[in-house]
Amino acid sequence: MKKLILSMVLVGATTLAFGQKKVVKEAEKGYKSGNYEAALTAITAAATNPETSGDPATFLLKAQIETKMFGADSSNTMETVTLGASALETYNKTFEMAGSDKTAGVGEEVYAEDMPGVPDNLRPYSIFTLKNLAFDKGIERFNVDDAEMAYEFFNLAGEIDLKDTTIHYNAGFLANDLGKFDEAKRHFGYLLDVPGYNKLNAYYFMVQILSTEEKNPEAAFELVTKAKAEYPTDKVLAEYEIQLLLQLNKMDEAMAQIKDALANDPNNTGLLLRSGYLKEQAGDLEGGLADYKKSVEIDPNFFEGNYYTGALLLEMSRKILNDLNSLSDAEWEKQSQTLGKQADDFYKQSVPYFTKAIEIKPDNTDIMIILFQVHTRLKNTAEAEALNKKLVELLGPNWQEN
């Protein structure tokens, strides 16, 4: 009787195992014929049954079915991304079950090379197939200006391959554009770890995020220092370094860096502007003015150069008038005419710079107001009235009261 019972149990177990293997066969059939929903239902049942759930081949087939479904879904929505993420999770589980060995057995199949463009029946439907499909979907979404979904697909593809520089640059660029700054830093950070890759653009983005979005100039300066060790002759990094030194109020270091940078690039208008600013802050107004003027000589359409030149000329005039007003009555009588003429000369010199600045940015009302005040002081009635008319058009008839 015991033998009979044991025999019945063995028959039952064999029948159950055979039944589960039949379910796997059904999943394979659905996978090959394109009936993916039925295939997924069958393989999910097999993946939860004790007889087949311990076989990594079961989960490889499940991942492949999910990848087929992912590729076939042309809606390319978040539901598509979720399906791709599920496939990735299944591939990772399969690889772990197979001993995390890329050189043999199922583990080798998980990481089989995929060649985009070959006939579908020749693709291995490995984890790299999933990566390439996700990348293609990212491109498709980007081409129709759906940056949000393009990022999601690039991000998915990037999870599979941390060293694919094209994918992570695309993902980082889009994340930065979408305001996902932590995500952008993560993707650009991967690029910084890839040997031999030109990391300059990644450094540029990272520095801008740290200094501007996160308002962390200390961290940005630390990263620029690291970047300059790799790219010591890069001019953009040199300018970032100077800008950050200014933010950190390290004026002496900034000036030293500017001098070095100008020695290599004497016609760099941005460097000249910063040099002039530092000299102005240090009280060397003549030196600052010379740098500002030189920047405009190099590029007459350099807006900041024109504006800073005009503004410093007004500051020099203001300083003269303040000095004049601080004199005793007797001294004021002696010097008022001479110093007043010097102040007016600086006002006159500022006119062409502010005029050019308005020409470059014709709707800048702040500079129009400054130039109106200059012309008013110089008694240039026609010029002042023309500016007043323009300001009334832009700001309303009561602009002077605001």
CATH of the domain at 175: 1.25.40.10
Do 142 and 187 sit in the same domain of this protein?
no
User: Who wins on pLDDT, 44 or 332?
Assistant: 44
Contact 269, 299 (CB under 8 A): yes
Do 157 and 196 sit in the same domain of this protein?
no
- 269-281 and 285-298 helices cross at what angle (nearest 10)? 170
Do 136 and 246 sit in the same domain of this protein?
no
Phi, psi dihedral angles at 267 (to 5 degrees): -105, 20
Which of 140, 161, 182 is the last residue before a domain boundary?
161
Which of 265, 297, 326 is the last residue before a domain boundary?
265
Q: From residue 210, give the alpha-carbon distance in Å to each of 207, 222, 227, 235.
A: 5, 10, 14, 19
Do 194 and 259 sit in the same domain of this protein?
yes
Which of 100, 131, 161 is the last residue before a domain boundary?
161
Contact 76, 84 (CB under 8 A): no
Do 118 and 175 sit in the same domain of this protein?
no
Task: State how far the Cα of 392 lies from the Cα of 399, in Å rounded to an integer.
Answer: 7
| Position 101 pLDDT exceeds 60 | yes
Q: Which residue type does 51 have?
A: E
Q: Is residue 286 part of a domain?
A: no
Q: Is residue 187 part of a domain?
A: yes
Give the mean model confidence (pLDDT) for residues 232-242.
Answer: 84
Q: Is residue 275 part of a domain?
A: no
Q: Is residue 369 part of a domain?
A: yes
Task: State how far the Cα of 90 lies from the Cα of 286, in Å rounded to an integer.
Answer: 70
What does the pLDDT read at residue 142?
97
Do 21 and 157 sit in the same domain of this protein?
yes
User: Who wins on pLDDT, 184 or 342?
Assistant: 184
Q: Is residue 43 part of a domain?
A: yes
**C-alpha dihedral sign at 158, 115, 43, 96:** negative
Quickly count: other Cβ atoms within 10 Å of residue 252's Cβ.
10
Contact 365, 387 (CB under 8 A): no
Which tokens go with 230? 């790799």
The overall average pLDDT reported for the chain is 90
Domain count, the chain: 3
Q: Which residues contact 370 (CB under 8 A, 6 or more apart)?
A: 310, 311, 314, 354
Q: Is residue 335 part of a domain?
A: no
Do 155 and 24 sit in the same domain of this protein?
yes
The confidence band for 370, taking pLDDT boundaries of 50, 70 and 90, is very high
| Position 22 pLDDT exceeds 90 | no
**Which of 25-29, 307-311, 393-397 shows the lowest mean pLDDT across its residues?**
25-29
Do 24 and 74 sit in the same domain of this protein?
yes
The confidence band for 222, taking pLDDT boundaries of 50, 70 and 90, is very high
pTM, to two decimals: 0.72
Query: pLDDT by residue (tens digit) across 307-331?
Result: 999 999 999 998 888 888 888 888 8
**Which of 116-120, 264-268, 274-278 shows the lowest mean pLDDT across its residues?**
116-120
Do 171 and 245 sit in the same domain of this protein?
yes
| Position 9 pLDDT exceeds 70 | no
Q: Is residue 303 part of a domain?
A: no
Contact 36, 68 (CB under 8 A): yes
Do 145 and 215 sit in the same domain of this protein?
no
Task: State how far the Cα of 356 lies from the Cα of 360, in Å rounded to an integer.
Answer: 6
Contact 366, 372 (CB under 8 A): no
Contact 362, 343 (CB under 8 A): no
Do 243 and 154 sit in the same domain of this protein?
no
Which tokens go with 51? 């007889």
Do 142 and 179 sit in the same domain of this protein?
no
Q: Is residue 376 part of a domain?
A: yes
Q: Which residues contact 338 (CB under 8 A, 6 or more apart)?
A: none
What does the pLDDT read at residue 17?
43
What does the pLDDT read at residue 3?
45
Q: Which residues contact 357 (CB under 8 A, 6 or more apart)?
A: 303, 306, 307, 310, 364, 367
Domain extent for 70 = 17-161
| Position 167 pLDDT exceeds 90 | yes
Q: The domain spanning residue 94 has which CATH number?
A: 1.25.40
